[in-house]
């Protein structure tokens, strides 16, 4: 595994997260999926659930309500209908 | 000629008007900053959404494309959404948008098309109601909610989608004011349905994409959402433009009031001096007579 994954989480009102991460887990409509750097192009709608971002040993979790994920050569973009960080 | 007391009152009333316009100017400036930020924060979402749809649309074309994207293939029934502000005191802000919309509506009517209108904001409702009466099918007021957000855009988008599905509209256009800068707002008409898609982006990686569920299903859910996003973006631009326009209008009003106060004060002082002079002459003349 080389490099990092470009990830941005965008809600209609604002960009919630943008940066380089190691891995992102997200709830797809047809099952949860994880995205690592270099993932093949992939597009899916999301159901309500939790997005987990892995950065080294740190983790951040976000609540999302529906949305849409797009993985392409440049990275992963999640357009969430509503999203907020879960403060542990 | 007005008496001195009347003039004093007049100056007093202009002064208090100036206080109000000055306060409103400062309030608008503060709100402008916030709504400008809001409009800018909403931009990334709208941009990503547009590029994702452009990507998808390149793959899905022809008969199986969703109707929100491809249209009904007809051009008879037009739905015009006119978004303005709820409040006035902002110069020609709302009138400019309505003027642009009216030109479009009138040319459509002249071409024999069916036109329906949705008014967003109290100002557009008032004017359009008077001009077009029953063509106005629904109105929305923004001041139901304290801030402009998804909750303001959602019901509008739902109504548009519903009217489209029921075959009440073939083409949907949205008129709003684009926020160029604090002093410049441009009335703009944007086509919502059929969706205007950016010409396919340069990378041809679409063929390699994996879709979950199918491309069509994703588009099905994405397009109504795109409608909401576009409306939200327009409402936010409108809001920023409104405050910008209000700020400029109130700044002008404050300056005009200042000019008026100066002119009135000058007049008042001249008159006062003239009166004093007259009184002095009378006293001196009286003293000499004795």
User: Does the beta-carbon distance from A72 to B221 stay under 8 Å?
Assistant: no
Count of domains forming chain B: 1
Residue B263, domain member (yes or no): no
pTM for the predicted model, two decimal places: 0.83
The one-digit pLDDT tens for each residue of chain B (290 residues) are 578 999 999 999 999 999 999 999 999 999 999 999 888 888 888 888 888 887 777 766 655 667 777 777 788 889 999 999 888 888 889 999 999 999 999 999 999 889 999 999 998 888 899 988 888 888 888 877 777 888 888 889 989 988 888 888 888 999 999 888 888 889 988 888 887 766 555 455 445 678 878 877 888 888 888 888 889 889 999 999 999 999 999 999 999 999 999 999 999 999 999 999 999 999 999 999 88
pLDDT of residue A35: 92
Is pLDDT of A44 > 80? yes
Question: What does the pLDDT read at residue A73?
Answer: 81
DSSP SS3 for A45: strand
Residue B152 lies in a domain: yes
- Cross-chain Cβ contact B212/A30 below 8 Å: yes
pLDDT at A1 over 60: no
Nearest to B221 among A12, A15, A45 (CB): A45
* Residue at B28 is within a domain: no
B6 falls within a domain:
no
- The complex scores an ipTM of 0.80
Q: Residue B192's domain spans which residues?
A: 41-200+207-245
Q: Do A14 and B232 touch (CB under 8 A)?
A: no
Q: How far is Cα B46 from Cα B30, in angstroms, rounded to an integer?
A: 25
Are A42 and B212 an interchain contact pair (Cβ–Cβ within 8 Å)?
Answer: yes
Supply the CATH number for residue B154's domain.
3.40.1380.10
SS3 B186: strand
* Whole-number Å distance between alpha carbons of B256 and B15: 11
A74 touching B, CB under 8 A?
Answer: no
Chain B nearest-CA distance from A58, in A, is 26
Domain of residue A69, residue span? 5-86
The pLDDT of residue B205: 47
Q: What total number of domains does chain A contain? A: 1
Residue B194's pLDDT is 81
Token pair recorded at residue B56 = 């998808």
Is A6 in the B-facing interface, judged by CB distances under 8 Å? no
Q: Supply the pLDDT for residue B252.
A: 94
Residue B216 lies in a domain: yes
Q: What is the CATH classification number for the domain harbouring A25?
A: 2.60.15.10
Query: What's the pLDDT score for residue B198?
Result: 62
Higher pLDDT, A83 or B56: A83
Count A/B contacts: CB-CB distance under 8 Å.
79
B100-107: long-range contacts (C-beta < 8 A, 24 or more apart)? B100/B175, B100/B187, B100/B188, B100/B189, B101/B128, B101/B175, B101/B187, B101/B189, B102/B131, B104/B80, B104/B173, B104/B175, B104/B189, B105/B80, B105/B132, B105/B135
Q: Give the pLDDT of residue B27.
A: 93
Q: Mean per-residue pLDDT for A65-77?
A: 87
pLDDT above 70 as % of chain A? 97
Beta strands in chain B (DSSP E): 77-83, 114-120, 136-140, 171-181, 184-193, 210-212
Tell me the pLDDT band of A63, cut-offs 50, 70 and 90: very high
């Amino acid at each position: 595994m080389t490099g990092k994954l470009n990830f941005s989480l965008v809600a209609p009102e604002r960009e919630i997260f943008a940066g380089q991460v190691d891995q992102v887990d997200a709830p797809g409509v047809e099952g949860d999926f994880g995205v690592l750097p270099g993932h093949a192009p992939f597009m899916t709608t999301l159901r309500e659930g939790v997005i987990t971002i892995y950065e080294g040993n740190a983790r951040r979790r976000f609540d999302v309500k529906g949305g849409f994920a797009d993985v392409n050569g440049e990275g992963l973009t999640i357009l969430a209908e509503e999203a907020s960080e879960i403060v542990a | 000629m007005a008496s001195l007391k009347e003039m004093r009152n007049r100056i007093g009333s202009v002064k208090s008007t100036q206080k109000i316009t000055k306060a409103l100017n400062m309030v608008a400036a503060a709100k402008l900053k916030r709504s400008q930020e809001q409009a800018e924060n909403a931009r990334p979402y709208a941009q990503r959404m547009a590029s994702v749809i452009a990507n998808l649309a390149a793959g899905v074309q022809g008969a199986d494309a969703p109707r929100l994207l491809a249209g009904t293939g007809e051009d008879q029934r037009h739905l015009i959404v006119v978004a303005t502000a709820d409040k006035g005191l902002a110069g020609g802000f709302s009138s400019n948008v309505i003027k642009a919309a009216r030109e479009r509506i009138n040319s459509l009517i002249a071409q024999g098309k069916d036109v329906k209108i949705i008014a967003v904001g109290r100002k557009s409702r008032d004017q359009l109601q008077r001009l077009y009466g029953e063509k106005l099918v629904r109105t929305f007021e923004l001041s139901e909610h304290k801030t402009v957000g998804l909750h303001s855009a959602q019901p509008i988008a739902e109504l548009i989608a519903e009217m489209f599905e029921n075959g009440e509209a073939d083409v949907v256009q949205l008129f709003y004011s684009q926020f160029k800068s604090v002093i410049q707002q441009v009335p703009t008409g944007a086509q919502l349905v059929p969706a205007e898609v950016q010409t396919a982006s340069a990378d041809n990686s679409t063929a390699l994409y994996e879709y979950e569920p199918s491309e069509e299903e994703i588009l099905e859910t994405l397009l109504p959402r795109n409608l909401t996003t576009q409306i939200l973006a327009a409402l936010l631009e409108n809001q920023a433009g409104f405050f910008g326009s209000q700020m400029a209008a109130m700044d002008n009003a404050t300056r005009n009031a200042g000019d008026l106060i100066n002119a009135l004060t000058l007049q008042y002082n001249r008159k006062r001096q003239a009166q004093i002079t007259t009184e002095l002459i009378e006293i001196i003349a009286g003293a000499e007579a004795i």
